[in-house]
Amino acid sequence: MRPHATHTSAKDRERLRQAMRSNMLLLFFGLGVLGFLIAIDRAEWFSLKPATGTSVSLSHAVADHSGQTPEAPAAP
């Protein structure tokens, strides 16, 4: 059994720092890919919907004034 070394060389510390950095970058890349794959499967997350009753009313009022038909808000 090796005794625990309390003094590590600068070379060992640099190698450990680079290994930790590369592991973190790989983790963030993997999380980014996972987020992307989830997001492309959930297109409804990116559709704009009125957040409040007031904004729905304003949307209908503007559409009535301009002659357009507003989109009905999606049911939750």
Residue 13's pLDDT band, with cuts at 50, 70 and 90, is very high
38 vs 30: CA distance, rounded Å: 12
Q: Which residue has the tokens 């209908």?
A: 60
16 vs 20: CA distance, rounded Å: 6
Which pLDDT belongs to residue 19? 96
Condensed to tens digits (0 to 9), the pLDDT of residues 35-72 reads: 999 999 988 887 777 677 787 788 777 776 665 555 65
* pLDDT surpasses 80 at 24: yes
Which pLDDT belongs to residue 47? 78
